Structure 1
Amino acid sequence: MASSLSQLREMTTVVADTGDVNAIRALKPFDCTTNPSLILKALQMPAFEEMVAREIEAGKSAGKSPLEIADVLTVGVGVELAQLVPGRVSTEVDARLSFDTDASVAKARALIAAYAERGVDRDKIFIKLAATWEGIRAAEILQGEGTDCNLTLLFTLAQAAACADAGVALISPFVGRITDWHSAREGRAFEVEEDPGVLSVREIYDYYKSNGIETIVMGASFRNIGQVKALAGCDRLTISPNLLEELEAEETKLEQVLTPQNASGMKRITLDEAAFRWRLNADAMATEKLSEGIRNFDADHQKLLKGIEERLAAG
């Protein structure tokens, strides 16, 4: 029998949740997705050592700031990854801009221009933004310019509905972080069919397919392969290397759980800014996890900047 991973690939596009070059080469995902945490790890890998040293030295000679050098390194990693996958590389906008639409758009345009200078077309890139109201508005502008966006840190149907209205190319609803929040509050683990994270992504998938919404649903943030298998059939799933390896080693029959044909017929909702903010505020889990996620992405970005500052000082 084929491995569970091979079976999953027959019904879902598999994305690698890593910036590890060796893992991407071995696991052969369609896309790879990054965030500041993954970029920070990637820049500490031997595969990027020469590129990091070269770019930091060039940045120092040109009088660039640590922030400017960080952007160059992020694009440099993205260029390397773009050569390894047939699909796209997600590149994240600075988390500190999550509540500034204009600044997010400007940063995204600069990233796309930097990729173009290195021979990577925008069709190989997703610009990754936090699913705040401002981030969604930035994505709407960028989509209108032909730049596809991946809206991340998505924890609730309200965020998904707003992304659909904005014509976003792809969303990354989180599974594990939702489950973590509910497990901590209720003091228990969940069987997969009652797992709040799994149920959230199923609801969003159902909503999109019920309403003919073309935005790609890419489940993210998995804690175990049970959660992955419970979303088999989702448009895409971004999975960490250790879970991909578990799926590759397993040889059991995998059932397709999600199909457009089984959509329940959920009615479409349209949210203005006030309604969006109210619905998000009413969901304690989504409010807390969105805020926490932005803080954590920024914390890793600050670590990256500090590391660059130390390298510049060391000469």
Structure 2
Amino acid sequence: MAQLALPTSIEFAMPPVLHNGQDRMRTVGIEVEFVGPTAEQTILALQEKLGGQITEDDPHSFVLQDSTLGDMSVELDSRILHPGKGDKSHGRVLPRIAAWFGFAARHLVPCELVSAPVPLDRLHELDRVLTVLRELGAKGTQDGPFYAFGLHFNPEIPRQDAETVTAFMKSFVLLNPWLRREVAPDATRDLLGFADPFPPDYVRKVASPDYWPDVATFIDDYLAANPTRNRDLDLLPLLHHLDAARVRAALPHEKINGRPTFHYRLPDARVSDPGWSIAPEWNRWVAVERLAADRERLDAVGAAYLAFEGEDKSWANVVEQVVQS
């Protein structure tokens, strides 16, 4: 019997708009959560494979600069373990306690690896980072019943204008039932707090073919319905970049770093699985970009959604046909 030849990797799809408003290749960064190796062990392994210079911010926070994949950071994902990054009055009192607690808690508190933005046509190279983590014995979502580790994408917005922001938001809320079904978070992940979907009334507002607001109105509507970072597509960093004063007036104490990117949060980082790649998750994001770039189809899908009387799971079957066509 002839052996079936299987592909050795998954192709990374490219979105329809590759360049930003300055005609430069758009960029995307990733964030990956895991447990097992310390932040220091991880950054040293990355340096060995990718080169660069290491800077230590504290015993649980490191930066690798000028690697072959650009800058990246690794740190325990808890603000209390990095007192120097928060309230400076605490920073003079707590560093030793924070360092000790970090070593004690590192098997429960995940490390977070954050890459600098890389050009879209180099995104596939970030799969090399997963190989480094696996070789270190890093563990992911599937390795414990209460592990809740995520993968996040930070794709640069193609144009910093109201029409682009609105089109992406429309596309995402219309495809989100399908996206969430494909990601298939299990009951444990829901219990541990995977990001909430957008409120139904807000989805219906955004989905309307007549909804094409200016930036100020879009931000006000978003903040009224979503005064939180707890969304699969967190727009607060982007909206803060577009109008920091408006966002801060509504959320004066929220931790937000403004940047011209979307923040797409996924609930599953299977870093110990030798077959796991970020490609499938990225390719589903590209489906959002493709629909966002097609104004006629986008309006038609929005009108169909408003007329649809079924549940989200049934709508997911409908929009799956849109994605595949």
Q: TM-score, normalised by structure 2?
A: 0.29
Q: TM-score, normalised by structure 1?
A: 0.29
* Higher Rg: 2
The answer to which structure has the higher helix fraction is 1
